[in-house]
Amino acid sequence: MKNILFTTITLASTIAFAQNISNQKIDQVAENAMKAFDVPGMAVAVIKDGAIVHSKGYGVKSILTGEKVESSTNFGIASNSKAFTATTLAILVDEGKIKWDDKVIQHIPEFKMYNNYVTKEFTIRDLLTHRSGLGLGAGDLMVWPDGHNFTPKDIINNIQFLKPVSDFRSKYDYDNLLYIIAGEVIERVSGQSWTDFVTKRLLEPIGMTNSAANWHLVKDKKNAIAPHVPIDGKLEVIDRYTNTIFDAAAGIYSNVDDVAKWLQFNLDKGKVNGKQIISEKQMKEMITPQTLQKVGTTTPYNSLFKAYGLGWQLQDFNGKLEVSHTGGLEGIVTQTIFYPQLNLGIVVLTNQQAGVAFNSVSNTIKDFYLGNPEKDWVQTYDQLMKSRVAEADGITDEVWKTVEANQKNRKLKIDTKSLVGTYKDNWFGDVEIYEKKGKLIFESKRSPQLTGEMFFYKDNTYAVKWNNRYFHADAFVFAEMKDGKLAGFKMKAISPMTDFSYDFHDLDFTKK
């Protein structure tokens, strides 16, 4: 009887102490992920049953300074900002100033899509749900990379020139531009800038006192990470993205202490300290499926559905609803997750663009709370990434080896003068191809960071190597010749691992 009693007590004690994942376990997987994926800095928070049970920084803000990441250190949370934009719209819905199914042209009369029907029927809900008919990341070259001179007005005007890849409301294709337009709706309806509205109506009431609606509003810029990118196998600090055009889609800077409060606000269905900031009705609407997606065939969590809500990704994991989002800027990737049924939230912020690092950490944490067998996610993702990188490197290496061989082939004569000229795309504007010191140069007039040397590859195909090497976005130029001269061209990223926001494939240039 004593043995049975002792066993019962011991088991009960073990269960009691195992209600939350140990700090040591999180420390271990965070440090392993940083080492495996060359991530200099990370911050992780876990929220369970109304309490922050873990909130900690790891590594360094910058490899140049060696200053440690703290739980209060700010990261760009990038597209995790989309849920904030959806939530600010929910405030306006609560106040009766808009409806989710208001037509966009009611608030932005000059808004125009690729055909009249879509223009007239396009709603505020459509702005948030990635079902416009446009392709993945369509038009992102108007916001990416930094250093361009596009404005929200340009996006509203130019989006009509982007060609659809599917029928309206028939298919999920992630976008950024429509969230920028959603930010414009907020400004026109509220009479305040998006940054002021999200700050006063969300960040401040929730208590996110060390967060900011964009980089320029960050109070303590010394307590912020630097973005890092591997260039030719070596990790380097790169310039920070600071253009305010991207604010409503990806602008917010925050830290794990504050993002934990944001997730608790969502877990509490719009309440802060017992006060209802946003109605439960609208909080529920935001995590209601709007656009269905395909469920992966290899998911380890027995998922039966996947969808996008209003600013949130939705999926079932072992029978529990997971509400999540990720975000990426050059040199920064981040992730937020919460499970309403488990009263659980997870935040992982990193200062290197290796999404496998945050997945390794968040999957380890969710496995514990979902009751899954322990798995070495770092090793799993490490093997996956090595395979993908090897495949991508094989493609790009072949291209540049061919280019190098062409340059050494003295018998090969390329009439570069037939390529020189100014070319225009309806939404991206002008690029110029010109000769300089024996080199053929490709230069965008509105996004001058997209400047690089242009090389002959084969047939009527050329390859552009951007001067800025951290883009990892070198591109093919498919020449369309007429009467021996370049009449126009299309483009495509060379590497399959190029970020989708370098949407060269949406461009169609003609000679001016």
Closest CA to 209 of 243, 258, 246: 258
What pLDDT score was predicted for residue 146? 93
Q: How far apart are CA 249 and CA 381, in angstroms?
A: 28
What pLDDT score was predicted for residue 153? 96
Sequence-distant (6+) residues with CB within 8 A of 152 are 180, 181, 183, 184, 245
| 301 CB-side CA count, 13 A | 21
Q: What is the pLDDT of residues 100-122, one digit of tens each?
A: 999 999 999 999 999 999 999 99
Domains of the chain: 21-133+168-375 (3.40.710.10), 389-511 (2.40.128.50)
Start-to-end CA distance of the chain, whole Å, equals: 92
Q: How far apart are CA 217 and CA 150, in angstroms?
A: 21
Closest CA to 362 of 74, 63, 54, 71: 54
Strand order in the sheet with 306-308: 51-59, 41-48, 344-350, 332-339, 320-329, 313-317, 306-308, 291-292
**In a 3-state reduction of DSSP, which class is residue 447?**
coil
What pLDDT score was predicted for residue 7? 30
What pLDDT score was predicted for residue 301? 82
Low-confidence ranges of the chain (pLDDT < 50): 1-18
What pLDDT score was predicted for residue 3? 34
Calculate the CA dihedral of residues 131, 132, 133, 139 and round it to 10 degrees. Answer: -120
